[in-house]
Structure 1
Amino acid sequence: MTPPSPLSPALSDFSGFSDNSSLSGDDTYIITCYNRLQDAIATLRDEVVRARILHRPSEPLPWAPQLHLLVHFGEHRPLLFRHKLRVNPEIFDDILDLISGHPIFHNNLNNSQLPIAIQLAIFLNRAGHYGNSISLLDVSQWAGVSVGSVVNCTNRVMVALLDQHDAFMGFPPHDSRDFELAQRYSAQASTCPEWQNGILAVDGTTVDLFATPGFFHQAFYDRKSKYSLGCQVSFYLFATVKKLT
């Protein structure tokens, strides 16, 4: 902030004027107004720094959380429970048991966290949907919490789940029924003969083509209305496991 102009050449440095007796009345008035303006700006800046809400509407936003419906869905409408959280009620309980002891959900702050079950429900609701229907504001209204709480709950559950990687991820034994079913599905779904013994496929991404292919271009037309090549990695673990055993 610079003093208003026009200014007298003697006013280039305000800090040196402890005695204003040598200044004219107009110059003294300008200095006084400038100092008051600086004080008002500093006060406003401090108020903005301290404030967490810059605009508080006259009428608060009504909240109608729907989390309590999950209890009814879990007991009587499991399909609706799965529609919201993408897991069965019993799977939800298993995940909750595995992550409840994680230190990320415990702190020594005065403001206690939301119950871990609610945090897990918020995370699963976000993870199981995509697009405009799962914005932070939509989730916060559905759960009856603030947008910041939605972000915090998501981050905490992600940390807890990643630390439980070995408990959640694993391959079935080669002589199990699950291994046999996975191998059978791989043989039916795979179009590559070398992948017939696989039990796991990792989907990749698409690489956009610069121009329409000259031959069989319709085969490269993807669901995003573009011409592209698909990348996919498949692990054929059956032969490897058989060699090791």
Structure 2
Amino acid sequence: MQSLQLGLFDHFADHCPHLFLRCLHVWPEVFDRILDQISSHPIFHSSSENRQLLVAIQLATFLFHAGHYGNVASPEDVAQWAGVSVGLVINFTNWVMVAILDEHDTFVNIPPHDSEDMERACTFTESQTCLAWRNGVFAADGSSILLFEKLQIFGESFYDRKSRYSLNCQVCIPMHAKWNTYCS
């Protein structure tokens, strides 16, 4: 049995993309790209007589689960939201992660240093920040990345000032960089 929330995502994608984003933490176009990329993965196809639910439902359930924390992050709460069993929430999470991790090189692609794409990225970075950041590939603004549950090891270390478990983004300065070249 499917819940009404999952049935609304086609409507949200077409008419209220901000509601789609609020639930799944990706825009509908990004969802479709991820879905296209992982749908053919063998983990979603079995020879069993028991067919899996659509990959779109599995991905939506995974994104909802991964994108929430606190009161709605437990597999039980996600199961109630998605209208599936707790076991399926756990399976969906595992299956989607396997498929995404197998596509790592497709999803995370750093262009060669001397490519036109890298030059456009460098020019954009320089125009938005300062010259010293021009050759940076990744940047972080100090935002918190929320964890859906307390970690098993050193879990209390990740409890933040907003009473959540999170990681704080940090900027790594390359070893060859000179400190005085960075803008303040």
- SS of 1:114's partner is coil
Q: Larger relative CO (CA 8 A, sep 6+): 1 or 2? A: 2
Please, which of 110, 122, 133 is the counterpart of residue 49 of structure 2? 110
| Cα displacement string for residues 61-118 of structure 1 (whole angstroms, at most 9, x for unaligned residues) | x984410011110010000000011111111111111001100001111111110000
TM-score, scaled relative to structure 1: 0.53
Q: Corresponding residue for 1:19?
A: none
Query: Is 2:107 aligned against 1:164?
Result: no
Q: Which amino acid aligns with 1:199?
A: V
Q: 1:173 to 1:122 in 2, by over 3 A?
A: same
- SS of 1:112's partner is coil
Structural RMSD (CA) = 3.5
CA contact (8 A) 2:125 2:134 kept: no
In 2, distance between residues paired with 1:231 and 1:200? 11
**Shift of residue 165 of structure 1?**
0.4
**Shift of residue 135 of structure 1?**
1.5
In 1, distance between residues paired with 2:75 and 2:24? 16
In 2, distance between residues paired with 1:166 and 1:63? 33
Q: 1:183 to 1:155 in 2, by over 3 A?
A: farther
Query: Is 2:23 aligned against 1:84?
Result: yes
Structure 2 spans left out of the alignment, 5+ residues = 146-159, 178-184
**Shift of residue 131 of structure 1?**
1.6
Q: Pairwise mapping of residues 63-142 of structure 1 onto structure 2 (< 5 A)?
A: 64-142=3-81
CA contact (8 A) 1:67 1:143 kept: yes
Larger Rg: 1 or 2?
A: 1
In 2, distance between residues paired with 1:185 and 1:234? 18
In 2, distance between residues paired with 1:66 and 1:81? 10
